[in-house]
């Protein structure tokens, strides 16, 4: 059974975290990231924040690892701002940033399909 309360809270966290990055984070290395999704576990212990890098950035595992390390340094700032803006009895204690590579995978599939269609036409 789907838990609508957790979905609603996840969407609220996504919105608030996006606002924090747009207004308050001034580090140019992570200023332009996009928050794609936020998932909270049922017991409110863990929050997974899925992000996407701008298209013009060099996307490789080393660069993604650097971005995640920089993002991890902002967790306390994010927590403080979220605690002020969202009224809950319990907050997630652990925050994890995860790079969302679904757009990259989709683009690779598009290139494969395009190349195969060109071969057969």
Quote the tokens at residue 15: 């919105």
Burial class (CB in 10 A: 0-12, 13-18, 19+), 78: buried
Give me the pLDDT at residue 54, please: 78
Domain boundaries, the chain: 4-120
Report how far Cα 120 is from the mean position of its chain's Cα atoms: 39
- Spatial separation of the C-alpha atoms in residues 8 and 100, rounded to whole Å: 21
CATH of 4-120, one of 3.20.20.70, 3.30.300.20, 3.40.50.1110, 3.40.50.150: 3.30.300.20
Give me the pLDDT at residue 32, please: 83
Q: What is the pLDDT along the chain (121 residues), one digit of tens a residue?
A: 468 888 999 999 999 999 999 999 888 888 888 999 999 998 889 999 999 887 766 777 888 899 899 999 999 999 999 988 888 888 888 999 999 888 778 888 888 888 876 676 5
CB neighbours of 75 closer than 8 A, spacing ≥ 6? Answer: 95
């Amino acid at each position: 059974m789907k838990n609508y309360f957790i979905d609603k809270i996840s969407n609220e966290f996504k919105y608030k975290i996006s606002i924090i990055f747009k207004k308050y984070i001034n580090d140019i290395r992570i200023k332009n990231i996009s928050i794609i999704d936020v998932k909270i576990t049922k017991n409110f212990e863990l929050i997974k924040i899925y992000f996407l890098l701008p298209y013009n950035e060099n996307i490789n595992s080393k660069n993604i690892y650097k971005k995640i390390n920089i993002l991890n340094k902002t967790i306390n700032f994010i927590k403080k701002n979220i605690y002020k803006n969202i009224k809950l009895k319990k907050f997630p204690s652990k925050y994890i940033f995860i790079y969302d590579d679904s757009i990259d995978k989709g683009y690779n599939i598009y290139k494969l399909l395009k190349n195969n269609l060109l071969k057969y036409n």
